[in-house]
Amino acid sequence: MATIFTGDEDLEDLSHEDFLELVNLDIRGIAPESLSNQLRDDDYAVEWYDALCSIKRKIEHTIVRKRADLATKLGIDYDYHRVEFLLWRGKALDFLYNVERVLAEAKRLLESDPL
């Protein structure tokens, strides 16, 4: 079940799974603004960047796995499965683009941080 964020949470109190869910919502532009701002705070830059990298790897892995799964469906109804895959892949690539856009933002933040 997805976590519902009110915007009053402190990122320190979130579990790893809830943090990933928040980053996912932020990528989609639907996270509470106060939490999105906290993600961009220097104190959370490394965790934010790592979460984005994790989400990116998961999407890329899922695309490869689903493409391989499509190859097992040669024969009856292959065209139907191919169309379904292509529609799904289009959405996945749109999301991946957004992940990479936010990842670039996080990287710029890390590079500007004088540690």
Q: How far apart are CA 103 and CA 97, in angstroms?
A: 10
Q: Tens digits of per-residue pLDDT, 9-64?
A: 999 999 999 999 999 999 999 999 999 999 999 999 999 999 999 999 999 999 99
Q: Report the helix count and the strand count for the chain, using DSSP H and E.
A: 4, 0
- Which pLDDT score, from 0 to 100, does residue 75 have? 85
Q: Would you say the pTM of this structure is higher than 0.85?
A: yes
Tokens of 72: 């097992």
- Is pLDDT of 115 > 60? no
- Is pLDDT of 82 > 60? yes
